[in-house]
């Protein structure tokens, strides 16, 4: 039994904006040995419209207190119900799911690129890499000043570069036009964000011969490889994002 279904207690649900929250969950037993990039499937109770679980990235982990955090953006009914949960409520979770970002061999300059709610797994990843002696920097993209979240948390881990579409914070434009991306000697980029962003980062990395991994967010029903709904086209054929991913090296992807 390597995976489990478990009721976890919400120890905090911190509302960051009117559509973003960071929820911290606690297990009564030892939490799984989460790896950066993995996700959990959370059950949305009491609504027939939200029949399926919602896949949510592991944002941060406290192995000592058996807690982990999720960054949640309200995008529909299911995430709206999660946003409204309170401290003390319980959430039914299936975990741990998915693969993880790879840990580079030897010292290399690593850039973690995220956009919107896609910044979620990069906090855990950044801490994980930093603890193993890697030098990392963040490049985070947001729509505008009011959408910029969690910068302090990321700054504690590594240098943070910000891009906003209107230039209200950091450089104006998308992450793909940010000067930090052009800095020399970046050998690895780990990226999670909206599809168009990951596509342009992948294009950039291909052109510049940079090793790149992206974390995909395909629609899924189960999250553990039995429904075959979340497939992505790869050099190995159609494979499940939930079990073979969500993290893929762009060399494998047919986009």
Summarize as ranges the residues that interact with another protein (CB under 8 A). 1-5, 43, 48-53, 94, 218-222, 224-233, 237-238
> With respect to another protein, which residue has the nearer C-beta, 106 or 237?
237
> With respect to another protein, which residue has the nearer C-beta, 1 or 64?
1
> With respect to another protein, which residue has the nearer C-beta, 27 or 164?
27
Q: How far is the CB of 9 from another protein (least distance, A)?
A: 19
Q: How far is the CB of 59 from another protein (least distance, A)?
A: 23
Q: How far is the CB of 183 from another protein (least distance, A)?
A: 35
For residue 97, which of 34, 23, 24, 50 has the smallest C-alpha distance?
Answer: 34
Q: How far is the CB of 252 from another protein (least distance, A)?
A: 15
Three-state DSSP class for residue 221: coil
> With respect to another protein, which residue has the nearer C-beta, 32 or 118?
32
Q: What is the DSSP track for 165-187?
A: TTSSSSEES-GGG-HHHH-TTEE
Q: How far is 149 from 121, CA to CA, in rounded Å?
A: 14
Q: How far is the CB of 17 from another protein (least distance, A)?
A: 22
Pairing status of strand 135-142 against strand 109-115: parallel
Q: How far is 233 from 175, CA to CA, in rounded Å?
A: 25
> With respect to another protein, which residue has the nearer C-beta, 55 or 118?
55
Q: How far is the CB of 239 from another protein (least distance, A)?
A: 10
Q: How far is the CB of 78 from another protein (least distance, A)?
A: 9
> With respect to another protein, which residue has the nearer C-beta, 64 or 219?
219
For residue 140, which of 167, 166, 122 has the smallest C-alpha distance?
Answer: 122
> With respect to another protein, which residue has the nearer C-beta, 177 or 238?
238
Number of Cβ atoms within 10 Å of the Cβ of 18 = 9
Question: CA-based angle 64:118:237, to the nearest 5?
Answer: 105
Q: 132 exposed, middle or buried (CB, 10 Å; 0-12, 13-18, 19+)?
A: exposed
For residue 124, which of 4, 15, 24 has the smallest C-alpha distance?
Answer: 24
């Amino acid at each position: 039994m390597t995976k489990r279904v478990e009721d976890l207690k919400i120890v905090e649900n911190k509302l960051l904006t009117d559509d973003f929250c960071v929820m911290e969950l606690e297990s009564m037993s030892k939490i799984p040995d989460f790896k950066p990039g993995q996700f959990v499937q959370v059950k949305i109770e009491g609504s027939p419209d939200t029949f399926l679980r919602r896949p949510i990235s592991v944002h941060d982990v406290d192995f000592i207190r058996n807690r982990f955090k999720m960054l949640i953006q309200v995008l529909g009914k299911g995430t709206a119900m999660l946003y409204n949960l309170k401290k003390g409520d319980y959430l039914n979770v299936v975990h741990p799911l998915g693969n993880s970002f790879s840990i580079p061999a030897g010292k290399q300059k690593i850039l973690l690129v995220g956009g919107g709610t896609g910044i979620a797994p990069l906090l855990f990843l950044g801490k994980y890499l930093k603890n193993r002696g890697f030098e990392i920097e963040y490049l985070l993209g947001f729509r505008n000043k009011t959408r910029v979240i969690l910068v302090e948390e990321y700054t504690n881990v590594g240098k943070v570069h910000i891009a906003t579409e209107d230039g209200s914070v950091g450089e104006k434009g998308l992450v793909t036009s940010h000067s930090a991306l052009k800095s020399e000697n970046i050998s690895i980029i780990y990226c999670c964000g909206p599809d168009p962003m990951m596509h342009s980062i992948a294009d950039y990395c291909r052109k510049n011969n940079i090793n790149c991994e992206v974390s995909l967010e395909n629609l899924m029903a189960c999250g553990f490889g039995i429904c075959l709904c979340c497939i992505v086209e790869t050099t190995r054929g159609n494979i499940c994002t939930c079990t073979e991913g969500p993290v893929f090296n762009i060399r494998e992807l047919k986009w």
